[in-house]
Structure 1
Amino acid sequence: MTHTPNTLSLVADIGGTNTRVALADGRRVLPDTIRKYANTKFPGLETVLRQYISDEGDVNPKAACVAVAGPVRDGRASMTNLDWAIDKETLARATGAETVAILNDLQAQGHALGHLDSANVRSILPGEEAHENAAKLVIGVGTGFNAAPVFDTEHGRLVTPSESGHANLPIRTEMELRLCQYVSNAHGFPAVEDVLSGRGLERVYGFLGQEANDPKEAAAADIMKSCETGDDARATEAAKVFTKILGTVCGNLSLIQLPFGGVFLAGGVARAFAPYLGTFGFGEAFRDKGRFAGFMGNFPVSVIEDDFAALTGSASHLVALMD
């Protein structure tokens, strides 16, 4: 396959396990160019990108942007579960691109808003109509947890990074206090993502087993499968506990950011829970803010079901940089 030199952008989504790379024409990711690489087979990002460029017929991109599951500061990214050096110099050297950028993965999701197929955005809670430039909030629930507010200004879109998943887990009931103590005993500081993540769901399941004096373990994928088949009441209960805590945390973040333009849940765990949020108590927990309960109806909530949204967001960010 050959591509016209210096016309397309290279975009990548770097997770803890795999890196997905694609080419984009403006904001449109070219589906036939999406490739996935197992991180364990490569010593670093530069090697992955050079392999991709070779696989795509030595493509010469005009710009490159990578989305990283970890904090980004001063053009350099660090990842908790991957010992790779990820900085702008490495990205420019690997791709030969003149314009390069590094985003946190939630920032990339934020830049994708408004550029996704509406069929891939599932409505969970309705909200009041708002101006198209109203603030938005992306909340990622997957291997970890994070959030990023999205602001559309006269100077362009601003998506500010955070590490929301490492804030304290909120406690509202005696049961949630015991859950916090269970997580704290096993894993130290009880942070939000210790419960609101794939591994967190497994911890909730284990906690319920301890509560019932019948301890056993289950993988997150098996817990969600049991929610569908109904063959494990504890799995359903774990998913309900998870959903209510998720609603509480999302409601808290919404009061901080006031996303009248909508709250958008992203990530593999969020997608898995999408069919159950309506019946497992998400809305009730989201709106349970005392005298502000009615005010919470201003914020519509949706789930992004496009697995390649971070690639679209990276492409959109590059378009804005080059305008």
Structure 2
Amino acid sequence: MKLALVGDIGGTNARFALWRDNQLESVQVLATADFPGVEQAIIAYLEGLGLAVGAVHAVCLACAGPVSGDLFVFTNNHWRLSRSAFCRDLQVDELLLINDFSAMALGMTRLQDHERVQVCPGTAEADRPAVVVGPGTGLGVGTLLGSAEAGWQALPGEGGHVDLPIGSPREAQLWQELYRLNGHIRAEDVLSGGGLLLLYRALCALDGHTQTLKSPAEITAAALAGDQVAGAVIDQFSCWLGRVAGNNVLSLGGRGGVYIVGGIVPRFAELFLRSGFAKSFAEKGPMSKYMVDVPVWLVTAEYPGLMGAGVALQQVLEHHDQEGNV
């Protein structure tokens, strides 16, 4: 019997898994730098499982960036993909390309209770959109609509590129330093791995501290060890994440709740839970009452993007089956 395959492809790593019986199997993570293209990476993945080209009949790949047309150019690595050539070379009948944060949003539908930590209490309204926000290499933003009965829908967007919001005189001062260092400041310029370092540089310049930390990992480690400057950077990062998440709730009517995903925040989860995130999230002037009872969770699941790619593929295959039975 032929199999389905799902992938979640980032700048550094490509995650692949088989999709069978609505579950992930044989998850592997491959470095994108090790392969000239996604086809070669998938062939290596299949060979590692003792499978030949043609063993997989359907593929869903979650990719960063807008997805349209035959040719897709990956935004964070050197790979390029032609839909027609991919299907021909890998003998695939069905190829579904979706935005990576559409996959991430769909992945929220399969979370287990132990894979999320509550940040803000509340009750999710089942008929309203849910917002998914994820600092990582960049800042991803997705929206989840629908239900298991009617079918899940994820709306792709580029919400990480909105302007960074300013909510206090202190943030206005920091924004000026950020602008001096970087020019135009998007939310992603601060709410990302590289953004953590940029924010550290700006805070040190504003407050007159000597810059001794050289990477996001060093900043996180120093903050966890009690360094006050690094701790202030983490807290401000969290506050700005709260403002951006709250803005998305207002823009989308996102009373279905907010999911904080990505690889950065779980690394300092305890500091995040004690930070100014919740206050900044709810601080919306006359609309602050709207934010009451909107739940927020920090997602700790290992492969939510892969799971979401599987959910997307499953819905397409089931739709095809229904059409075939009409």
Question: Is residue 2:186 matched to residue 1:211?
Answer: no
Question: Is residue 2:33 matched to residue 1:40?
Answer: yes
1:40–1:111 CA distance, 2 compared to 1 (3 A): same
- Which blocks of at least 5 consecutive residues in structure 2 are unaligned? 319-326
Where does residue 150 of structure 1 map in the other structure?
144
After superposition, where does 1:237-316 map in structure 2 within 5 Å? 237-316=232-311
Structure 1 SS opposite 2:266: helix
After superposition, where does 1:190-229 map in structure 2 within 5 Å? 190-216=185-211, 217-229=213-225
Rounded Cα–Cα distance in structure 2 between residues aligned with 1:140 and 1:93? 34
Rounded Cα–Cα distance in structure 2 between residues aligned with 1:90 and 1:117? 37
Measured after TM superposition, the shift of residue 277 of structure 1 is 2.6
Measured after TM superposition, the shift of residue 87 of structure 1 is 4.1
Where does residue 322 of structure 2 map in the other structure?
none
TM-score normalised by length of structure 1: 0.91
Measured after TM superposition, the shift of residue 211 of structure 1 is 1.7
Rounded Cα–Cα distance in structure 2 between residues aligned with 1:90 and 1:264? 36
Where does residue 133 of structure 2 map in the other structure?
139
2:130 maps to amino acid? K
Q: CA RMSD in A?
A: 1.8
After superposition, where does 1:100-139 map in structure 2 within 5 Å? 100-131=95-126, 133-139=127-133
Measured after TM superposition, the shift of residue 20 of structure 1 is 1.3
Structure 1 SS opposite 2:78: strand
Instruction: Answer whether contact 1:75 1:102 (CA < 8 A) is retained.
Output: no
After superposition, where does 1:81-96 map in structure 2 within 5 Å? 81-96=76-91
1:83–1:288 CA distance, 2 compared to 1 (3 A): same
Where does residue 171 of structure 2 map in the other structure?
176
1:238–1:110 CA distance, 2 compared to 1 (3 A): same
Structure 1 SS opposite 2:79: strand
1:129-181 deviations in Å (ceiling 9; x for gaps) = 523x4321111111110211111167522111111111111122233223223
Rounded Cα–Cα distance in structure 2 between residues aligned with 1:185 and 1:205? 14
Instruction: Answer whether contact 2:60 2:98 (CA < 8 A) is retained.
Output: yes
Structure 2 SS opposite 1:82: coil
Question: Is residue 2:67 matched to residue 1:56?
Answer: no
Deviates more, 1:296-305 or 1:55-64: 55-64
1:49–1:23 CA distance, 2 compared to 1 (3 A): same
1:257-304 deviations in Å (ceiling 9; x for gaps) = 122221111100132243223311111000001122222023211111
Measured after TM superposition, the shift of residue 28 of structure 1 is 0.7
Rounded Cα–Cα distance in structure 1 between residues aligned with 2:102 and 2:141? 9
1:303–1:90 CA distance, 2 compared to 1 (3 A): farther
Measured after TM superposition, the shift of residue 98 of structure 1 is 1.4
1:37 maps to amino acid? L
Identical residues among aligned pairs (%)? 30
Structure 2 SS opposite 1:267: coil
Rounded Cα–Cα distance in structure 1 between residues aligned with 2:107 and 2:71? 22
Rounded Cα–Cα distance in structure 2 between residues aligned with 1:301 and 1:95? 41
1:3-23 deviations in Å (ceiling 9; x for gaps) = xx31x3111111101111111
Structure 2 SS opposite 1:299: coil
Instruction: Answer whether contact 2:177 2:205 (CA < 8 A) is retained.
Output: no
Deviates more, 1:164-173 or 1:94-103: 94-103
1:189–1:77 CA distance, 2 compared to 1 (3 A): farther
Instruction: Answer whether contact 2:62 2:100 (CA < 8 A) is retained.
Output: yes
TM-score normalised by length of structure 2: 0.90
Instruction: Answer whether contact 1:76 1:88 (CA < 8 A) is retained.
Output: yes
Rounded Cα–Cα distance in structure 2 between residues aligned with 1:76 and 1:26? 30
Deviates more, 1:55-64 or 1:143-152: 55-64
Instruction: Answer whether contact 2:64 2:76 (CA < 8 A) is retained.
Output: no
**Number of residue equivalences:** 314
Measured after TM superposition, the shift of residue 69 of structure 1 is 2.3
Instruction: Answer whether contact 2:7 2:14 (CA < 8 A) is retained.
Output: yes
1:222-255 deviations in Å (ceiling 9; x for gaps) = 222222221x210001011111111111100110
Rounded Cα–Cα distance in structure 2 between residues aligned with 1:105 and 1:94? 23
